């Protein structure tokens, strides 16, 4: 029997597995108010920041904020996101659970994101997604780059040939730095620098992977 080209799939979260932007915008604005800042976060603004680490988001959105104000925003964003998203979740992509159910039969599944700690857990809890994924890692837990966290997941789980699936140029660069293949989720928030394999919907991932058998 011919084996799959990949033994595992590592997913980005925002723009790849869910869209939580609308919910998170309000959390950010509330956190800014508590820090004495003008609440200026919008859906479009946050969408452009997806995939960045929180300090890089601060540099784009509130560059004038002091270290104390940034700490207040960060603390309130983390607690607010966890509370709201755990209860309400975000928007999943069409037929996502059925697709993950099918993929789980053929591959080991993982999540690697640049988010803060507890954000992936909120996704798991709100949508009962933990059952699909073998492991996960994030910048908020390790303090490392996305490329390094991809490597950590691969080494920790003994993966021979994983592929990273994400929706931004940072995802593409991180996969390259980690030495793994990349599939661009063109339905997400971002873009890529170089031509690459892409999917226009989450469902399209199954057909793409079947072609690589």
What per-residue confidence (pLDDT) applies to 1?
Answer: 32
**How large is the C-alpha radius of gyration of the chain?**
17
Per-10-residue mean pLDDT of the chain, 213 residues long, equals 76 96 90 94 88 87 94 90 90 97 97 92 96 97 96 98 96 97 95 92 96 69
184 neighbors 198 (Cβ within 8 angstroms): yes
What per-residue confidence (pLDDT) applies to 98?
Answer: 98
Assigned token pair, 183: 């599939």
What per-residue confidence (pLDDT) applies to 79?
Answer: 87
What per-residue confidence (pLDDT) applies to 105?
Answer: 96
What per-residue confidence (pLDDT) applies to 106?
Answer: 95
CA 32 to chain CA centroid, nearest Å: 23
What per-residue confidence (pLDDT) applies to 180?
Answer: 97
The Cα 37–Cα 1 span in angstroms is: 61
The Cα 126–Cα 192 span in angstroms is: 30
Q: Buried b vs exposed e over 72-85: b needs ≥16 C-beta within 10 Å?
A: bbbebbbebbbebb
24 neighbors 50 (Cβ within 8 angstroms): no
159 neighbors 134 (Cβ within 8 angstroms): no
Helix (H, G, I), strand (E, B) or coil at 23: helix
Tally of residues, the chain? 213
| Structure-token match 């988010």, residue found | 115
The single-letter DSSP state of residue 131 is: G
């Amino acid at each position: 029997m011919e084996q799959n080209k990949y033994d595992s799939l590592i997913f980005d979260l925002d723009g790849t597995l869910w869209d939580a932007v609308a919910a998170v915008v309000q959390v950010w604005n509330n956190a800014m108010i508590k820090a004495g800042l003008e609440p200026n976060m919008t859906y479009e603004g946050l969408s452009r920041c997806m995939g960045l680490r929180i300090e890089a988001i601060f540099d784009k959105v509130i560059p004038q904020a002091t270290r104390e104000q940034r700490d207040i925003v960060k603390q309130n964003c983390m607690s607010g996101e966890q509370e709201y998203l755990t209860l309400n979740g975000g928007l999943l992509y069409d037929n996502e659970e059925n697709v993950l159910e099918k993929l789980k039969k053929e591959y080991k599944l993982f999540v690697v994101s640049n988010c803060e700690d507890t954000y992936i857990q909120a996704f798991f809890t709100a949508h009962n997604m933990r059952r699909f994924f073998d492991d996960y890692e994030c910048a908020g837990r390790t303090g490392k780059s996305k490329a390094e966290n991809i490597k950590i997941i691969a080494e920790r789980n003994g993966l021979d040939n994983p592929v990273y699936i994400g929706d931004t140029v940072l995802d593409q660069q991180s996969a390259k730095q980690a030495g793994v293949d990349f599939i661009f989720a063109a339905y997400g928030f971002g873009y890529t620098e170089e031509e690459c394999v892409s999917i226009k919907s989450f469902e399209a991932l199954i057909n793409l992977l079947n072609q690589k058998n």
